[in-house]
Chains A and B, each alone.
Chain A
Amino acid sequence: MQFEVLATCHTTRARASRMKLAHGVTPLPTFMPVATQAAIKGLTPQQVEGLGVTLILNNTYHLNLRPGIKVLLEAGGAHKFQGWNHNLLTVCDSGGFQLVSLNKFTTITEEGALFSSPFTGEPTMLTPEESISIQHAIGADIIMQLDDVVSSLTVGPRVGDAMRRSIRWLDRCIAFHEKSGKSDIQNLFAIVQGGLDSVLRDECLNEMTKRHDQVAGYAIGGLSGGEEKDIFWRMIGQCTEKLPTDKPRYSMGIGFAEDLLVCVALGVDMADCVFPTRTARFGVALTFNGPLNLKLAKHAKDAKPIDSTCPCPTCSDGVSRATLHHIATHETVAAHAITLHNLAFQAQVMGQARDSIMGGTFPKYLRRFFADYFGNAGYPEWCVNALQSVGVDLLEGNPHAKVVKGDGVKWEYSDAA
């Protein structure tokens, strides 16, 4: 991997960089759409490429079950299997919350994660070495260590144990990966754990940054699992402050536009989430003025496209909100059309972040984005605080703006007509 920071924001910790991997260049910061089972739901790889997306995610756990490693090896890797010629990242088996949410029988031992195979019911051990070996077969450009992830709502000694085990597993992943001879093509990322405890996070950061020369980048894991937003941003901020500046940072499971921009301001380079694609399937289109729930009757007669300035195929073909209302959740085409739009929206949010970081206007972009997005509904207090911590006052010039407590997520409800 070649990683080069092109520009750093003069106020915040945001940076614009160029990440060159075996399948091309991905400019950062970027949002990575999720193709859990080797397909962005409803889209062809050509469509995804056409949106200007250069890096997507696959899930190791799912690909290992279906189609299975044998098929992937025969195909010549996951890129060839799914017809995706650009960069690919595989989240590891327990990355995010797969092992937490998919399988209630999982037990973690020092050796690895022990779970009952969904095929045979037999107890099956997934070791750090195996997880890397599977990711080698998949052939992703960026691979993730196996970590011991606990729900971000867990408290007690389990959190510290999991964090320390993740460090030991990282060492085993590094050893296996280096021995494989694949470390020049595939890039291993460490995952910082430690729950919501800043002392544990620090301990993990200290240990993992010691492995600086053996990993290609760092992910921040164990967040975005229902914790309070005020704690979430502090954890991200704590991590980005300590992580080395010459490696990409990846915040796992972040997808709301406001979360993305706060993370970027705190120094995050990459993020992934199923949110934009999943919400599209339920008829919700994302815009710079907030989400539109196209299922609502108020859109039934609206001949405007979702966003007349949007370059996505759905908007540039003039597909109207009324038409999308007519087909949303009835025809797969609605999911395809809104997914195209939502991915283009995410890419624009991040593209404009890159441009404004390059141009030295990132704080201005933040203020404009939040004013457009939350102006009438009220700024989420945690965003105001998070950005204040890196020197941006969202309320500048607008001291009487409404500020709301809680997560402040914007949503279009039926009574909001």
Chain B
Amino acid sequence: MSLNHHLSALRFHIQSTPATFSPRLGTVTLCRLAEDISIDLQTPGLITSTSRGVVPHLSSDHVRVSDAVRWIHVPFESFLELSPPLPTLHPGPYPSHACLGLRPNRHVLTMSLRDPADDRDMPPNGNDFVSALCLRGVRKVTPNEWRDYTLSAQPDVLVALSDVPLTSGPHSQKRITKSIERSASWLANLLRPLPGRHVSAGAASHLLNVLVHMAGGIAPKARQAFSRSLLEPLFDKEAEAIRPLNNLDQGVAGYTFDLAPLRKSLSPDAPRPAPTGGLGAGIDPFSVPPAPSVTAQIISLIRTSLEPLPATKPRVVHSAGSPHEILALIRDIGIDLFDAHWAQRAADVGVALDFVFPAPADISGPAPREIGHNFYDERYSHDFSPFADALRSCTADQLDERPPCTCMACAPSRPSEPLKHSRVDEAPPLHAPVPYTRAYVHHLLHTHEMSAHTLLALHNLAVLDTFFAGVRRVLSERPAALSQEIRQFEQTYDGKLGVLAEAKKAWTEVNLARGKGRLAREREREKQRQRQDTLGTAVELN
């Protein structure tokens, strides 16, 4: 057990004193007490998602220069393949930062056991373990193991184990009761004081920044019961264990909500792709975009959870599915942080996001417009404009009033100093940066070049970051106009996200066609398509 735990305190400051459910402007500050470093992040804002511990498609040098990537969420489960797990191996301070190429003075790192976006069917959890998934199969992780892992891995913020039933539903009342009891008791276990550390009066009673996932599934009563259990004073042995805390909520730095399992329970009939690896697949968010009715139900469930709790702690949502859903969650609840999972997934399938908040007033072309471009589409093959219309690239006129896109694709910056390998190397001539074009990415996608996804991931994260900055500006300058601006946004941009479904299909086609003989296969498919067109039928390729 590591005793040189580096102290980082998570603070949250809300400007103005809002009601329990109103949009709010805030600042999350992570103070690294030993180094006198503090990282300020404005909310509402974004959290970057990772896969196997890394931001998909972004090598460490790209993560470092990306302004949008400041708060990173790392699911721990992939590391269970190795014992002891990778983030616990690195020597020195901030082992998780070190092993993932992140910088303690720039990046806030949150860790949860499971990937919050993964809603695939799983074997059941037990009274004393959560079933987690890694490449080598399902692993049982006990609350004690989770505590030990996180004490060694030292993420800045960690999510307590939560019993989210991912067996195929519906879930009985007994199962839901178990779920909230286990989640509360696992949280209590995590909040025990650190070993070898005296708790002096007045000092922080526990040294971990713990987020709690709000349990109870889609049963409002259960959600309510769970929230209340956080506030109940504890007695006897239970109280002794978490001393000097009086109740669990005192040890909690914020609340998280995983929408993927909620959506799965709320839409039992949603189509799911074929199971892979023996597990039932989750809902594909691109073929089933977040329906406003489902979002409304989710909002009501989240409000039930938050109702009794203090409004002063940050609220985190994982796997919101669209900017529309994000706006609704900000407006109707006052959610502070959202992961960028859907925007990063859009980069995976070749979509460059193109939207701003507030939506531009002068709309040309048919409304509502798509929230992005499917660069697989032939229409981009000769399009040499920058990725986005709603944002300006680095070569745009300075009088251009569109917000700038500062991503490495729209405003590529030269490497500060290219490496030199010999005394006769000469510094390369200077060139003004030129944004990457749609035609280039179209080409990269069709030739299955990975760089396409790097550029798109950098871009999409920046677009989402700029979107949140726009939300914050409205909240700060004219808060009363937020609802009107959201309505305007909903009218301007299509919430059905057709572009994502279309791109996913194109991505699948290119992926299936690749390899030797690919051009011949494409030719054959083109012929088939023509034949089908004449018959007036079209077969969906998935």
A contact set with B: CB distance below 8 Å: 6, 16, 18, 23-25, 27, 37-47, 49-52, 54, 62, 65-67, 70-71, 74-75, 80-83, 85-86, 118-121, 300-301, 303, 311-314, 317-320, 322-323, 326-327, 330-333, 335-337, 340, 344, 347-348, 350-352, 354-355, 358
Q: Quick check: B86 and A337 within 8 Å, CB to CB? A: no
In the bound assembly, the distance between CA atoms of A25 and B429 in angstroms comes to 9
Q: Which residues of chain B are within 8 angstroms of A46 by Cβ–Cβ distance?
A: 408, 412-415
How many residues on the B side are at the interface (Cβ–Cβ under 8 A)? 65
Q: A323-B99, A337-B60, A358-B424 are in contact. Are A332 and B419 (CB under 8 A)?
A: no
8 A–B contacts from the bound complex (CB under 8 Å): A42-B451, A46-B412, A46-B413, A66-B443, A81-B437, A83-B434, A118-B519, A351-B425
Are A39 and B453 interface neighbours, CB within 8 A? Answer: no
Of the candidates B86, B99, B439, B455, the one whose C-beta lies within 8 Å of that of A75 is: B439
Contact B421 A354 (CB under 8 A): yes
Q: Give the residue of A25, A51, A119 whose beta carbon is less than 8 angstroms from that of B523.
A: A119
Asked whether A41 lies within 8 Å of B99 as measured between CB atoms, the reply is: no
B520, A317: Cβ atoms under 8 Å? Answer: no
- Give A348 to B421 CA distance when docked, in angstroms: 6
Inter-chain contacts of A327 with B (CB < 8 A)? 52-54
Specify the main secondary structure of chain B where it touches its partner: loop
B414 touches A301 (CB 8 A): no
The number of inter-chain residue pairs (CB within 8 angstroms) is 208
Q: Is B482 located at the chain interface by the 8 A CB criterion?
A: no
| B78 and A326 contacting across the interface, CB-CB below 8 Å | yes
Task: Give per-residue flags for B18-60: 1 if the beta carbon is below 8 A from chain A beta carbons, else 0.
Answer: 0000000000000000000000000000000001111111111
CA distance A118 to B513 in the complex (A): 14
Contact present for B86 and A42 (CB under 8 Å): no
Instruction: State which residues 428-468 of B face A: CB under 8 Å.
Output: 428-429, 431, 434, 436-437, 439-440, 442-444, 446-447, 449-451, 453-455
Question: In the bound complex, how far is the Cα of B523 from the Cα of A65, in angstroms?
Answer: 13
How many Å from the CB of B438 to the closest CB on chain A? 11
Q: Could you tell me if A330 and B443 are in contact, using CB atoms closer than 8 angstroms?
A: no
| Nearest CB in chain B: distance from A248 CB, A | 15
Q: Are B450 and A42 in contact (CB under 8 A)?
A: yes
Bound-state CA distance A120–B519 (Å) is 9
Task: Identify the closest chain B residue to A65 (Cβ).
Answer: B519
Chain B residues in contact with chain A, CB under 8 A?
51-62, 64, 78-79, 81-82, 86, 89-91, 98-101, 135, 381-382, 384, 408, 412-415, 418-426, 428-429, 431, 434, 436-437, 439-440, 442-444, 446-447, 449-451, 453-455, 519-520, 523
Q: A326-B78, A333-B59 are in contact. List 10 more A-B contacts (CB 8 A).
A: A38-B440, A47-B61, A49-B418, A50-B61, A52-B421, A303-B98, A317-B60, A330-B135, A331-B52, A355-B422
Could you say which of A25, A41, A318, A331 contacts B51, with CB atoms under 8 Å apart? A331
Q: Is the CB of B434 within 8 A of A333?
A: no
A-B CB proximity, top 10 nearest? A351-B421, A50-B415, A52-B419, A313-B61, A118-B519, A354-B422, A336-B59, A317-B60, A351-B422, A42-B450
Q: Residue on A with the closest CB to B434?
A: A83
Taking a contact as CB atoms under 8 Å apart, the answer to whether B90 and A303 are in contact is yes
Residues of chain A within 8 A of B414, CB atoms compared: 46, 49
Asked whether, in the complex, the Cβ of B60 is within 8 Å of the Cβ of A319, the reply is yes
A37 to B445, CA, bound (A): 11
- Which residues of chain B have C-beta atoms less than 8 A from A344's C-beta? 419
Query: Is the CB–CB distance between B381 and A303 below 8 Å?
Result: no
Measured in the bound complex, the distance between the Cα atoms of B424 and A350 in whole Å is: 12
Residues of B within 8 Å of A70, CB to CB, are: 382
Q: Check if B424 sits within 8 Å of A18, measured CB to CB.
A: yes
Are the C-beta atoms of B449 and A67 separated by less than 8 Å?
no
Report how far A18 CA is from B426 CA in the complex, Å.
Answer: 10
Interface pair B99/A320, CB less than 8 Å apart: yes
**Contact present for A121 and B523 (CB under 8 Å):** yes
